[in-house]
A and B are shown apart, each in its own frame.
Chain A
Amino acid sequence: MERIPILKMGPFLLVTIQVDLYDRLALTLENDLINMVSKTEAKGVLIDISAVSIVDSFMGRILGNIASMSKIMDAATVVVGMQPAVAITLVELGLTLSGVHTALDVEQGMELLRTKIGNLDTDEEGLYDSFI
């Protein structure tokens, strides 16, 4: 069965969706991704949807689900490269993906994740510092 590859990049997971998602593929992706987060203890998930030209409410919901699930497992989700037409469609469908971070491209998405994790690290270091 067709699967979408999930790449590990340091503390982050990188998913590049290069085909149009149909329902079963989206569900498989959701499943694989959450398992991967739990296995690698990733701190962030970056989903690149710049090649996706068609979305429906189901796909929007899956994206929201992935974000909420990752959040529970302490990983931030960033969706990058959404096409204008896709963004308009999602807004018209009433899906604003409020739990999801967004960025224009992979580069800016990575930067966003790094600042999020970076904040976390310094916080933790500060925490240890106060212990020591």
Chain B
Amino acid sequence: MNKDTATYLKGKRKQILEKWMDNQVKDAALRDDLMSVAELQQQSEEFLTALLNAFGTPEAENTDSAGYETLIDILNEISISRARQGFSPRETNMYILSLKQVLGQQLEQNPALDPSKLSREILSINNIMDSLGMTTMETYIKGREEVILRQSNEMSEISTPVIRVWDGILALPIIGTLDSARTQVVMEALLEEIVATSSRIAILDISGVPTVDSLVAQHLIKTVSAARLMGAECIISGIRAEIAQTIVHLGIDLTNIYTKASLASALKMAFSMLNIQVTRGAKQNLGF
């Protein structure tokens, strides 16, 4: 890029900012519900200043050069914050692309440029802006991935509650597919809770597990063995007819593990293991 072009654009900073803001505010994709116009104005001004400064550096064509460091930092911050706020990829990218248009129009009004020079300058600005646009998308996607990762972590924690149903009896309703990562979370949560409440029996209810294959069964057996090592016994409950069929067809050996069809019968078994008797009290008039 020509040095004179950079100086010219720097001189026209105010007009460029005005036009860019105008374009952004007029655009149908403006999300004033997510971000106020004043905030956008401040962000755009900061970005434009950094961009025009970067144009003035000796290596203006190379967005990896040291002159662009501040600009890239600002851009990354903008993209990540937009990813978190829920802007769409198109809206995020339009931010950069709309500036490209404004810069091109501004250059056309420069009387010092003849047509061949003008096209060269516009081409080089296009290249720089495209490269910045790509950086934006990359950072935007990275931001989105962070959000997804955080959500999936939260989900695996939420979906494995350990409930104390009685003195010394824990219940663990498992909902959703058991994979290795979740088994690890489930196992750790269960074992920690066994220690904390010094429970002797844990009931693993798998009525919320859609399918049981050999891998899931392997994970269940691992959990039971680990609990057994600590001195607690496990009962697996909630085995539906189709799951029982799959287990037998796959040849999975569950003979060393207590299994029950429902949580109620598992609880009954736990009571008899702990020598607890539940009896119905004398008949009372409860008013119904």
Which residues of chain A have a CB within 8 Å of any CB of chain B?
A: 79-84, 86-88, 90-92, 96-97, 102-105, 108-109
> B225 touching A91 by the CB < 8 A rule?
yes
Q: Does chain A have a CB within 8 A of B230?
A: yes
- State which residues 182-241 of B face A: CB under 8 Å: 184, 187-188, 191-192, 194-195, 198-200, 222, 225-232
* Pairs A-B, 8 closest by C-beta atoms: A84-B191, A103-B231, A102-B231, A87-B226, A87-B229, A104-B231, A91-B226, A96-B225
B229, A104: Cβ atoms closer than 8 Å: no
Task: Tell me which residues across on chain B come within 8 A of A105, comparing CB atoms.
Answer: 198, 231
Interface pair B191/A88, CB less than 8 Å apart: yes
**CB–CB B228/A88 < 8 A:** no
B contacts with A: majority SS: helix
- Residues of the A chain whose Cβ atoms lie less than 8 Å from the Cβ of B187: 88
Query: Contact between A96 and B230 (Cβ–Cβ < 8 Å)?
Result: no
Contact of A87 among B191, B198, B199, B200 (CB under 8 A): B191
Task: Please name all residues of chain A whose beta carbon is closer than 8 Å to the beta carbon of B232 when the two chains form the complex.
Answer: 104
User: Contact between B229 and A90 (Cβ–Cβ < 8 Å)?
Assistant: yes
- Interface residues contributed by chain B, number (CB under 8 Å): 19
Chain A residues with CB under 8 A of B230: 82, 84, 87, 102, 104
- B200 to nearest A CB, angstroms? 7
| CB–CB B222/A91 < 8 A | yes
The reply to whether B228 and A102 contact each other, CB–CB distance below 8 Å, is yes
Of all chain A residues, which has the CB nearest B194?
A: A104
Residues of B within 8 A of A83 (CB): 195
User: Which of A90, A102, A105: most chain B Cβ within 10 A?
Assistant: A102
A104-B200, A105-B198, A108-B200 given as contacts; is B231 within 8 A of A88 (CB)? no
15 extra A-B contacts, CB within 8 A, seeds A80-B231, A90-B226, A103-B231: A82-B230, A83-B195, A84-B188, A84-B195, A84-B226, A84-B230, A87-B230, A88-B188, A91-B226, A92-B222, A102-B228, A102-B231, A104-B195, A104-B200, A104-B232
11 A-B pairs with C-beta separation under 8 A: A84-B188, A84-B191, A84-B226, A87-B229, A102-B230, A103-B231, A104-B198, A104-B199, A104-B231, A108-B198, A108-B231
The answer on a CB contact under 8 Å between A82 and B188 is no
Q: Which residues of chain B from 117 to 140 have a CB within 8 Å of any chain A CB? A: none
* A97-B188 Cα distance, complex, nearest whole Å: 19
B172 smallest CB distance to A (angstroms): 14
Set of chain B residues within 8 Å of A79, measured between Cβ atoms:
229, 231
Docked Cα-Cα span, A86 to B225, in Å, equals 12
A118 to B125, CA, bound (A): 90
For A109, list chain B residues within 8 Å (CB).
Answer: 231
CB contacts (< 8 Å) of A102 on chain B: these are 228-231
CB distance from B116 to the nearest CB of A (A): 70
Residues of A within 8 A of B227 (CB): 87
User: What chain A residues lie within 8 Å of B188 (beta carbons)?
Assistant: 84, 88
Residue of B198, B222, B231 near A82 (CB, 8 A) is: B231
What residues of B have a CB within 8 angstroms of the CB of A104 in the complex?
Answer: 194-195, 198-200, 230-232
Q: Which residues of B sit under 8 angstroms from A96, Cβ to Cβ?
A: 225, 228-229
| Closest chain B CB from A50 CB (angstroms) | 9
Bound complex: CA A90 to CA B223 (Å)? 11
Assembly CA distance A92 to B199 (angstroms): 23
Q: Chain B residues near A87 (CB, 8 Å)?
A: 191, 226-227, 229-230
